[in-house]
Amino acid sequence: MSLTKSKMNTLSDGEQDNQWLKFLIEELWKKNLAPTLFSIDNKGLLEKLKNFGSNSKTKHLDIKIKCLRNKFKKDEINVQLIPSEAMLAGVLSFKFLHSK
């Protein structure tokens, strides 16, 4: 599995969880929430969100990336590129893996 595909699957799963929580909060408290900010460390994924072009190598990514791109273009989600070192989950998992 490519790194971009792996990061895209993670972003897609996070966005689905976020959407469910957002609907729940808006229903319970009758408040409109601002778009959620997702931090990613993969430049290729950010480029696919901005300018996705399908080809034979990316055909299997089409459905998920089109859904994410649609939400990104409509400002339903915000995505920012940050360095890998600044990713909290990455730092925690890296330290855990190398502490054994």
Nearest to 4 by CA among 76, 60, 70: 60
Predicted confidence (pLDDT) per residue in 20-66, tens digit = 999 999 999 999 999 999 999 999 899 989 987 766 666 666 788 88
Q: State the residue for tokens 């808006």.
A: 26
If you write DSSP's letter for every residue of 72-90 in order, what string do you get?
HHTTSEEEEE--GGG-HHH
pTM across the whole model: 0.78
Contact partners, residue 36, CB within 8 Å, separation at least 6: 15, 18, 22, 77, 78
Which one, of 24, 70, 31, lies nearest residue 50 by Cα?
Answer: 70
